[in-house]
Structure 1
Amino acid sequence: MANSSVCSRHFKTGEIVLSAKGRRKLKPGTVPSIFRWTKPSRPGVWEHCPRAAATGGEDGAADDNSAASGSNTGMEMDCEPAQTPPVPMIEDHDYAESPFITVDRSKYTDMCKEIEELRQQLESQHLTLRFGLQRFASSKEDIRFYTRFPSYEHLMAFWYLIQEATTRMVRVNSAQRNLSSSTSTESPVTRPTKLLPIDELFLFLNYLSTGCTQRELGHKFNIHRATVSRIIVTWANFLYTLLGSVSIWMTTDAVKANRPVDFNGTYENTHVILDCTEMRCQTPSSLLLQSEVFSTYKSHCTFKALIGMSPHGALTFVSALFEGSISDKEIFRQCGITSLLTPEMEAMVDKGFLIDELVSGKVHRPAFLSKEEQMPEVDVLRTQSIARLRVHVERLIRRVKENKLFDTVIPLSISGSISQIFTVACLLTNYQYGPLVKKWAHAE
């Protein structure tokens, strides 16, 4: 019939050809001949026994006579069957077979439940073996240890603030490949690492909090050490730009609105409390660099920075890192805070900040003994009152240095990005912690 269809497997090779238009068709006179019951033809007698080649002349006639007379030579020939290639048995199709499979309903339900349980076990096992944020989401102690955030909810609240900006993150390797362009964007589809953005943030916070080496982080997150280095530098620059774009310097009205009662009276106009902190660094091989970064106070090569705090405990200023040999006064001169202070803003500092001629406002500083044998009573009381309030900036610095990276000797290999990393660690304290003093909680 013209409209009938037969499977192509029922035809021999060469019986199906292509037309000029590229359509398959059968040769004229071709019929289906390959079925399950088709068997190869049985070889004949002459195909079983090989025959000697016929020769002409008398020799040929002699051979014919000897074969006709039934000589022993002809009868003793080894008649072995010829080796024929095996013919594959192609099974026919069951065109009446139903596409649906009939199974026991209860057995099918039990199998589905078992598959779902095995899938959940596999996912839980994967989370247990994988070192990532989701593994520690249920433990406040682990989140605190690895990120310095008090809980998983606090960390996710911070993540939601920066999540949208991560799509426009400029990566280190992207910047190197696109030197001609000023900006480069990355999408989750074209990301150069196999980690999710939130896991990269977790890696960066883990690096700050635990101070472990990049090789160790590579083993934890199952990535190469060079990839860890690129992630750290990328996120340091990203958070430095993103968090640094938010103004943390407070206005006079905002400081007065959040001022604790401990500052009422003599120090009610105090706008910022300043202090310097130092971090040990690796000793450079150059003697000139050694002399620049060597700190006589720490008796070691250090980096030095200036940190400012509002009276209610929020970080309001952080400078770049300077060499350890610089004085507190010189850091104050170079860091740029002088342009932020106005005459009505008072500053509270330590003894090393001899900055009265650099600012127009009042400076609260502990008194010096000078050449006197004993400090006057009024100076003693003023020093005690200043120390009682200024100690809170030391507690803020301790919060920054709870990141173990700054407890170790900082290698010179990350000196190019250590200033951004330190600034980010300082800015994160405004998101990671509560008030310095519990009774100041209402000022938050």
Structure 2
Amino acid sequence: MGHSCCVIGCHTKSHGRNGCKIDHDVRFFRFPTWKRGYGQQVGELTKRRRMAWVAAVRRKGITFDAISPFMRVCSRHFHKGEPAYEMMETDPDWAPSLHLGHTSVTPTNIARAARRSRREQLQKERWQAAEMGVRQDAKIEEVQTKEEPSEPDEINSHQPNGERTPDAGEESGQLQTKEGTHEAGEDHLITEAETHNTSQDVTQTECDLCVLRRAEVNRLLDENRELRRELNERRMSDDFFGEDDEKVKYYTGLPNLGTFMALFRFLMPLMPSQNKILTPFQMLLLTFMRLRLDLPAQHLAHLFRVSPKTVYRTFNEIVSFLYANLRRSIVWPDRDTLHTIMPHQFVEAFGHRVVVIIDCLEMFTEKPSNLKARAQMFSSYKHHHTLKYLIGITPKGAICFLSKGWGGRTNDKHITLNSGFLDNLLPGDIVLADRGFDIQECVGMLCAEVQLPEFTNGSCQLAARDVEETRKIAHLRTHVKRVTGNVCQKYKILTGTIPIKMILTCEGEEATMLDKVVTVCCALTNHCPTIV
């Protein structure tokens, strides 16, 4: 999906003006979300992070409560080229800080963050060692608890001065007590050394466990991201196209992702802001897929995980919405524009007088139940019930006129005279058309119509005055066939048999649903490169 960085002064884009992807290593990241369903701590942390990103970008249109899902921050504004894990608040890449286009937020210092991380790790290790030391001391005190010694026998012998004189037994007892105390002290020193070594071993074991746990958490996070990406692809989310232009071309008919995103950004503010089961992106994608591939409603219902009724309702709503906003792209160009974009083949043959090439786009329909409608729609040429649309194409290949639908029985001349096409012509204009458009006598001096010859049984029946004009335009008029064929080739919904309900007039409008579909398909074709 085409993205551009929203940071002030940063002009990094994923696609160029021509819609082609730019080959560079820059990545784009969304603003973090406020996770309110994961507990108070996670909610407060993610809220602070979202506020930090908004403050770092510092744009008027970006607030905490109003951030477009298409706003991105490129990897140039992070030290490591990507945001840090949301729980690592002390990481310098927890929020963008580089090249922000203002001085309100100073760039983070990687060295300072590393020192802080080391301090926290040392403090954690010391706390663990102290906790283990307390536990070991408690065990040692419990082991070293001994019975209290009994009181020595009282000796009744007294000295003459009334003082008690210790005998040899008492002296030996005192020596033994001192030696025992010394031995106990040595045992105590040995026990403390053993305790210290044991604490270091336990701390090392705890650190190894932390490393293993951290590795497992990172693995689970990567697996979670991958599963979310796969789930988004299956749900046809906003990241459905990724960066694949061929995927965009297959599902929408538009040439590349840049064109699709430009059209989506133009339409998104105009779309109704009602609560829908599908997002605006999914609603537009569903409509494009039905126009482009003519997929059944049941199949689309399985893809988007909705009911077939929701598919029908969404398709009708978005087609009407596109018809109201895109039909203005089918516009009759002014003469100065025609002179500027006129291909040299037309200039060599007719100067700058050719204005338009006309033909009828004819589509098969179901057999109506009404006898009058059945008679009006039956085409003796196609031997089927059809509906016709007069289509006008500029020499450059853009569709500049489209009439409403007419029954297949109506001839081309009647459609041309009654569709409002002639109101766009000026005196001296040249219109290229088939012989079936025999309107030159009706137009009079308004325009000069040039016709192709009629071939019968392989022999060319030409009037002398038609030979030179036929030679000039025989290879030019094929442009209209290429353009009409391109419309039907891009949007397969026009090549199948049209249901009767699509050719009924919409309530409160003059146009039918098929009129809207054909108009939208022609307007989208004008957004593609011309084939001329």
TM-score by length of 1: 0.65
CA distances 1:308-366 after superposition (whole Å, capped 9, x unpaired): 11111111111111111111111112211111111132211111111221361211212
Q: What is the CA-CA distance between 1:109 and the residue it aligns to?
A: 3.3
Alpha-carbon distance in 1 for matches of 2:277, 2:461 = 66
The residue number in structure 2 matching 1:389 is 476
Q: What is the CA-CA distance between 1:387 and the residue it aligns to?
A: 2.3
Say whether 1:362 aligns with 2:448.
Answer: yes
The residue number in structure 2 matching 1:134 is 239
State whether residues 210 and 405 of structure 1, in contact with CA within 8 Å, keep that contact through their aligned partners in structure 2: yes
Q: What is the CA-CA distance between 1:152 and the residue it aligns to?
A: 2.1
How do residues 285-296 of structure 1 correspond to structure 2 at under 5 angstroms? 285-296=369-380
User: What secondary structure is seen at the aligned counterpart in 1 of 2:362?
Assistant: strand
Q: Give the share of equivalent positions with the same residue, in percent.
A: 28
- How many equivalent residue pairs? 312
Alpha-carbon distance in 1 for matches of 2:374, 2:308 = 29
Would the alpha carbon gap of residues 132 and 364 (structure 1) be closer, same or farther in structure 2, given more than 3 Å must change?
Answer: farther
The residue number in structure 2 matching 1:435 is 530
State whether residues 236 and 282 of structure 2, in contact with CA within 8 Å, keep that contact through their aligned partners in structure 1: no
Alpha-carbon distance in 2 for matches of 1:367, 1:124 = 59
Q: What is the CA-CA distance between 1:407 and the residue it aligns to?
A: 1.3
User: What secondary structure is seen at the aligned counterpart in 2 of 1:223?
Assistant: coil
The residue number in structure 2 matching 1:308 is 392
State whether residues 132 and 221 of structure 1, in contact with CA within 8 Å, keep that contact through their aligned partners in structure 2: no
Alpha-carbon distance in 1 for matches of 2:409, 2:319 = 26
State whether residues 133 and 202 of structure 1, in contact with CA within 8 Å, keep that contact through their aligned partners in structure 2: no
Choose from 238, 260, 277 the match for 2:361.
277
The residue number in structure 2 matching 1:244 is 327
Q: What is the CA-CA distance between 1:247 and the residue it aligns to?
A: 5.8
Letter in 1 for 2:316: V
Alpha-carbon distance in 1 for matches of 2:452, 2:300 = 45
More helix by share: 2
Letter in 2 for 1:366: L
CA distances 1:202-223 after superposition (whole Å, capped 9, x unpaired): 1111001111221221122111
Alpha-carbon distance in 2 for matches of 1:116, 1:373 = 74
Choose from 402, 409, 416 the match for 1:332.
416
How do residues 181-200 of structure 1 correspond to structure 2 at under 5 angstroms? 186-187=272-273, 190-191=274-275, 193-200=276-283
How do residues 55-74 of structure 1 correspond to structure 2 at under 5 angstroms? none
The residue number in structure 2 matching 1:405 is 493
Would the alpha carbon gap of residues 424 and 283 (structure 1) be closer, same or farther in structure 2, given more than 3 Å must change?
Answer: same
Q: What is the CA-CA distance between 1:107 and the residue it aligns to?
A: 5.2
Q: What is the CA-CA distance between 1:160 and the residue it aligns to?
A: 2.0
The residue number in structure 2 matching 1:9 is none
Alpha-carbon distance in 1 for matches of 2:347, 2:437 = 24
Alpha-carbon distance in 1 for matches of 2:284, 2:230 = 23
Would the alpha carbon gap of residues 155 and 374 (structure 1) be closer, same or farther in structure 2, given more than 3 Å must change?
Answer: closer
Alpha-carbon distance in 1 for matches of 2:348, 2:370 = 52
The residue number in structure 1 matching 2:221 is 116
Say whether 1:423 aligns with 2:519.
Answer: yes
The residue number in structure 2 matching 1:183 is none
How do residues 197-216 of structure 1 correspond to structure 2 at under 5 angstroms? 197-216=280-299
Alpha-carbon distance in 1 for matches of 2:280, 2:471 = 48
The residue number in structure 2 matching 1:48 is none
Letter in 1 for 2:447: G
User: What secondary structure is seen at the aligned counterpart in 1 of 2:477?
Assistant: helix
State whether residues 143 and 149 of structure 1, in contact with CA within 8 Å, keep that contact through their aligned partners in structure 2: yes
Would the alpha carbon gap of residues 390 and 232 (structure 1) be closer, same or farther in structure 2, given more than 3 Å must change?
Answer: same
TM-score by length of 2: 0.55
State whether residues 454 and 461 of structure 2, in contact with CA within 8 Å, keep that contact through their aligned partners in structure 1: no
CA distances 1:1-60 after superposition (whole Å, capped 9, x unpaired): xxxxxxxxxxxxxxxxxxxxxxxxxxxxxxxxxxxxxxxxxxxxxxxxxxxxxxxxxxxx
The residue number in structure 2 matching 1:221 is 304
Q: What is the CA-CA distance between 1:382 and the residue it aligns to?
A: 2.0
Would the alpha carbon gap of residues 247 and 423 (structure 1) be closer, same or farther in structure 2, given more than 3 Å must change?
Answer: closer
Would the alpha carbon gap of residues 247 and 376 (structure 1) be closer, same or farther in structure 2, given more than 3 Å must change?
Answer: closer
- The alignment yields a C-alpha RMSD, in angstroms, of 2.4
The residue number in structure 1 matching 2:341 is 258
Letter in 2 for 1:434: P
Choose from 467, 475, 488 the match for 1:380.
467
Letter in 2 for 1:156: M
Letter in 2 for 1:279: M
State whether residues 453 and 460 of structure 2, in contact with CA within 8 Å, keep that contact through their aligned partners in structure 1: no
Q: What is the CA-CA distance between 1:374 and the residue it aligns to?
A: 4.7
Q: What is the CA-CA distance between 1:302 and the residue it aligns to?
A: 0.5
Q: What is the CA-CA distance between 1:420 and the residue it aligns to?
A: 0.5
Would the alpha carbon gap of residues 344 and 376 (structure 1) be closer, same or farther in structure 2, given more than 3 Å must change?
Answer: closer
